[in-house]
Amino acid sequence: MELLVSAAEILARWDVVLALLVGSVGGVLIGAIPGVGPAVAIAILLPATFSMEPIVGLTVLLGIYGSSMYGGAIPAILINTPGTAVNALTTYDGFPMTARGEARRALSLAYSASFFGGVFSVVCLILFAPVLARIAPMFGSREIFLAALLGLILVVIAHRGQTLIAAALAFFGVFLNTVGLEPVKYSKRYTFDQSWLSSGVDLIVVVLGLFALSQAFYLLQGDDEKVRLTPLRGGLFQGLRELSRHPRVAGVAGSFGVVMGMIPGVGEFTAQFMSYTYAQRSSKRPEDFGHGSSEGLIAAETSNNAVPAAAMVPLLALGIPGEALTAMMLSVFYVHNVVPGPQLFQNDMPFVVALYLALLVLNVLVLIFLLSATGHLVKVVKIPNRFLGVAILTLSFVGVYSLRNSFTDCLIAACFGVFGFVLKRLSLPAVPIILGMVLGGIMEVKLRAGMARVKTPLDFIDRPIAMILFLMILGVLALHIRYVLSERRKLKEAKWSARKRSTRFGMQMFRRRDYLSTERGKKVREKRSKYVPRSTGPRSPR
C-alpha cells in the first residue's frame, strides 16, 4: 500500500498530469492519421524529452505509444486503412460493419476492447511487480548478456520469410554501435581517421532517419487520396455493453497480449493473430469472421492494446528493449543517468509503479476523450499526405539539429532516411537495425564484465538463470531450424506433386495417341466420323 501511495504522489505533480494529457490526446490524433504512426511521432519528440525529468518525458512517450492504437482503429474502421500497422487486423471486421451502416457500433466496440486490454495488462503487471522485484536481482552481467542475445535472436526469427535479411540488418545495427570510441579503453574503431566519426553514430539520428525522414519521403512521393467518410449513427456507449457479452474472448486476448508483450521481438502482431485464431475457432459463428464479427474485432483490439504495458517489463527489469519504440524510450533513461535493470527495481520501485499507474490513467483519459470527441476526430483522416510529409520532414531536421547543433547529424539522418525509404519500397524491416544498435551495446558491455570471472566456456552458464536462458536460445534456434526444414519439405512436395500431375497428363495424352494409331483405334475413329462429320468451312466463334 505504501508503494502505491508513493507512486501516486509522483503522478500527482502538475507537469506529469500535463504530460499525460498531451501524450494521450496527441497519441490518438497521430494514430488516426494514416501514414504517420507512433514511431514517427516518438522519433520527432525524442530530442525534446531529453530536457524533461525522466518521469515527465517517459509519460509523454508512453502516452503516444499506448493511445496511438486507439486512434489507429478510426481510419481502419471507417475507410479500410489502418492508422498504425498493428491496426491492420481491425479492418477485417471493422470495415464490414461500416459497410453495413454500423460504423459507430464498430468504433465503440473497438474503444471498449482497447480500454479493457490496456487496463487488464496494467493490472496484471502491477500485481506481478513484487515478483519481478525479487527475480531482477538474480540477473548479473552474464544473464543480461544472454537475455539480450535471446532478444536479438527472437527479433530476427520474428520476421518469418525475411530471416536472413533481418539478421543482416540486425548485425548492421550492431556494427553501427561499434563505430567511434569503444567504452572501456576509449580506442577508436572504424573511424578511418575521420574526426566526425569519433563520437560514433547517434541512435536518435538513426531513429529519426529510418522512421521519420523515410516516412516523409514516402508520403511526398505518393498522391493525395480523397477520403469519403461514412456518417456516424447510434450511441458510442453501446460497445461497453456488447463487450460484456464476450468476457472469454476479451480475457484470452488480453492474456495473449501480456505474454507476447513480455517476449522481446514478438509484440502486437503475434498476439493479435493468436487471439484472432482462438476467437474464430471457439466461436459459435466462425463464418462471420472477416465479415463484421464483433468477436473478431474484440480479439484484435484487446490483444494489441495489452502489449504496450507488458513490453515495458524487459525494458525496466533488464534494460532490454523488445521493439523500436521501447528502444527509443531507453535513450531517455540513459540521458538522465537512470539505468533500467535489476537495480531500478531494488532502489526505485515507486518510479516503476508510477509508470504503470500512468498507463492505467492514460487508458481512462483516452476512453473519455474518444467517447466525447469522435465526431470531430474522424476529420483528421482527410489531412493530405504531402502536407504531412512536409511537416514531418521539417520537424525531423529540427529535432536532429537540436541534439548537438551539428549539420553533420542532419546529413547522416538524411542518408538513413533514404536508406529507410528504400527498405520501405522493398518491404524490408528497419526495426532490426535499431534493436541491433541498442542490444549490441548492452551485449558488448555485459560480455566484457562477465568474462572477468570466466575461465572455461561452461563457467559462463554455471548459474541457474544463465543455464535457463542458454537452453532457451538453443530451443528457439532448434524450433526455427525445424520450421525452415518443414517449409522446405512442403515446398519440395508441392513442386513434386505439380511435376507429377503434369507428367501424368503427358502420359495420358501419349497413351491416347498410341491407342488411336492401333487397328481398334482406327475403327473407333471411323465409327465416330459417321456421326460427327468434319466441317469444311470456317469455325464459328465460341
pLDDT tens column, 403-434:
777 788 888 888 998 998 998 888 888 878 88
**Same domain (yes/no): 418, 485:** no
What backbone phi and psi angles, to 5 degrees, belong to 452?
-65, -30
Note whether 37 and 68 are within 8 A (CB): yes
Does residue 99 contact residue 284 with C-beta atoms inside 8 Å?
Answer: no
Same domain, 498 and 369: no
How do residues 371-380 score in pLDDT, each as one tens digit? 777 767 666 6
What per-residue confidence (pLDDT) applies to 528? 60
187 occurs within a structural domain:
yes
Same domain, 233 and 371: yes
Instruction: Please name the residue ranges forming H helices in 378-463.
Output: 385-404, 407-425, 431-450
Judgement on whether residues 430 and 320 belong to the same structural domain of the protein:
yes
The rounded percent of the chain whose pLDDT value lies above 70 is 81
Summarised one tens digit per residue, pLDDT across range 197-244 is 777 788 778 877 887 788 788 878 876 666 565 555 555 567 677 778
**Domain identity same for 442 and 471:** no
* pLDDT computed for residue 540 by the predictor: 44
Q: Looking at the structure, tell me whether residues 408 and 474 fall in a common domain.
A: no
What pLDDT does residue 380 have? 65
Q: Which domain holds residue 473?
A: 463-516
Confidence class for position 264, pLDDT limits 50, 70, 90:
low
pLDDT exceeds cutoff 70 at 472 = yes
Question: What's the whole-model pTM score?
Answer: 0.69
C-alpha cell at 125: 503487471
Least confident segment among 37-41, 64-68, 168-172, 390-394 = 37-41
Interatomic CA distance for residues 412 and 99, integer angstroms: 46
Claim to verify: residue 195 and residue 321 sit in the same structural domain:
yes
The residue among 249 and 334 whose pLDDT is bigger is 249
Last residue of a domain, one of 453, 473, 498: 453
Q: Which residues fall within 8 angstroms of residue 329, CB to CB, at 6 or more apart? A: 42, 58, 61, 62, 65, 315, 321
Q: What is the pLDDT of residues 346-356, one digit of tens each?
A: 777 777 788 88
Cα separations in angstroms, 345 against 139, 254, 458, 465:
12, 25, 29, 18
The torsion region of residue 340 among left (phi > 0), alpha (psi -120 to 50) and beta comes to beta
Torsion angles phi and psi, residue 513, rounded to 5: -65, -40
Our count of domains for the chain comes to 2
**Does residue 342 sit in the same domain as residue 476?**
no
pLDDT at 507: 57
Q: For 304-325, what is each residue's pLDDT tens digit?
A: 888 888 877 777 777 777 666 7
Whole-number Cα distances in Å, 339 to 137, 336, 448, 452: 14, 9, 18, 22
